Structures are given as structure tokens and as C-alpha cells.
Amino acid sequence: MNFKLPTEYEVLVVGSGHAGIEAALAAARVGCRTLMLTQNLDTIGQMSCNPAIGGLAKGHIVREIDAMGGAMGLNADATGIQFRMLNRRKGPSVRAPRAQCDKKAYQFRMKAILESAENLDLKQGTASRGWQGRWRGNRFGFENRYAKRRDHFGDIFARSPPRRRSQQGRRTNGRRQFDSER
């Protein structure tokens, strides 16, 4: 017996690490009905044994995420216990800020942000099999793509926003044929 979720989702995010959190929040922020599927709801946003955000490489990514309205930088600012500038004695091209965060405070605050976000549902489960396909022919002439994941909840559908069909035409014997020429 399979349990069917009563909601159809437009975006399905599998995993609740830094990238999954930002992807789910971004999709929910633009108005898509979003489901985040994670193996354990208690480990959402869990940091490694070195809970640092920043540095030369990751700091660049965090600043880009922050510029687009992401939650990682704001959460690091709120839960940081030490802030420092790396490579202070070297040139400006290799200087980078880094924040050491309280692991548990970061994790709990990030989970609270996700739970309070509109258009975002959190479910615990394992995506065991995925399938992608498409269907055509709705009344607006759009092509809808969808991805289906099967897990122990049953079938969960995630559909991306509709997009217009290509207007390039088909090639027939070396010559393009458009729908208007038929």
C-alpha cells in the first residue's frame, strides 16, 4: 500500500545540506510549491567538525549567495562566535573573511528558517528511484516537464514551470519546415 501525498510540487529538492537549503529557499521564494526531501529532519543544515563559513573559495560562494538573498551568510552572521580576516599580511587578492559558527545554533536556526518559509514543505524519506519524462498538449501550447521520484511515501510529482515550445522548425530533407508551411 502506497501513501500518496496530497500536494503536487513544482520543485523537489533531495538533500538538506548547504546547497539543498539554498535551492529550496530560492524556489519557494519565487513562488514555486517546493518539497525538500531529507533522510533525517534532525540533521538539516548540520555542519562538519570544522564549522567555518568563509575563506578563499567558500567565502566567494557565500558572498554570491548572500547577494542573491540567500540564508547562509545571514545565518553565519547570527551564529558566528569568531570572525577573522585570513591572509592579512598578504596581498588583497588572497585576503578573505571567515566566520567560525556555533554548530548547533547554526543548524537549529537554519531549520527554523526552513520551517517558517512559505511554499516549502519538509519531509523525511529516501529518494530511491527517479524518473524523468514529459507530456505535451495542454491548451496553452506549452511543454511541461516533470520529474517523478518514488520513495516510501509513494509517487511524488515535481513539475517545472511551463516553457514555450521551440519555434525553430523541423528539418525535412535539408529544408526547414515550420508549422505555418504545412
- pTM, to two decimals: 0.70
CA distance 125 to 45: 16
pLDDT tens digits along 82-139: 999 999 999 998 999 999 999 999 999 999 999 999 999 998 887 766 655 443 434 4
Helices and strands (H and E) in the chain: how many: 4, 12
Of all residues in the chain, the percent with pLDDT exceeding 70 is 66
Candidates 155, 103, 107; CA nearest to 128 is: 155
pLDDT at 146: 46
Q: Which three cell numbers mark 54?
A: 568563509
CA distance 38 to 24: 12
pLDDT tens digits along 4-54: 656 678 888 888 999 999 999 999 999 988 889 888 999 999 998 889 998
